[in-house]
Structure 1
Amino acid sequence: MRKMDEMELSINLKAIKWAWAYTIIFLFGWIVYDYLHGNRNSVSLFLLITQNFVWIAVQYFLKWKMNKDEK
């Protein structure tokens, strides 16, 4: 297997960002739809919250790991 070059890495990161944004917008729409139809406890709200929690946790961990390696 070969490593990705900078252009491929940039394209993949942009695709991931667009897919993440689509997921957030879709889940938000699902939450609004469920709320308007009386379903207060929906899986979509749980998914939205946990997805963002995992994203924030991984960011903090990777930043911490990079700072730890620099010392």
Structure 2
Amino acid sequence: MRKPDEMEMAINLKAVKWAWFYTVLFLFTWTIHDYVKQGTLNAAFFLLISQNIIYLAISQFLKWKWGKDEK
């Protein structure tokens, strides 16, 4: 299996970002809908929050790790 070139990597990264945005928007809409209808928070809310916490934590860790490697 060959390594993807820069264009393929850029396309894949953009596709992943749009898919992530769609998921966040869908989960947010689902959470608001259920909260208005039922008055409770559902599993979609916890998935939305945990997904973003994990994303932020990994992003910060990798920035710290790669910034540390450059020194």
| Structure number with higher relative contact order (C-alpha < 8 Å, ≥ 6 residues apart) | 1
Q: Could you list the runs of 5+ residues in structure 1 that have no partner in the other structure?
A: none
User: Between Structure 1 and Structure 2, how many residues are aligned?
Assistant: 71
| Paired residues for 1:1-71 under 5 Å | 1-71=1-71
- Structure 1 runs (4+) deviating above 2 angstroms are none
Identity of aligned residues (%): 56
Give TM-score scaled by structure 2 length: 0.94
CA RMSD of aligned residues (A): 0.9
Q: Is the 8 A contact 2:31 2:41 kept in 1?
A: no
Give TM-score scaled by structure 1 length: 0.94
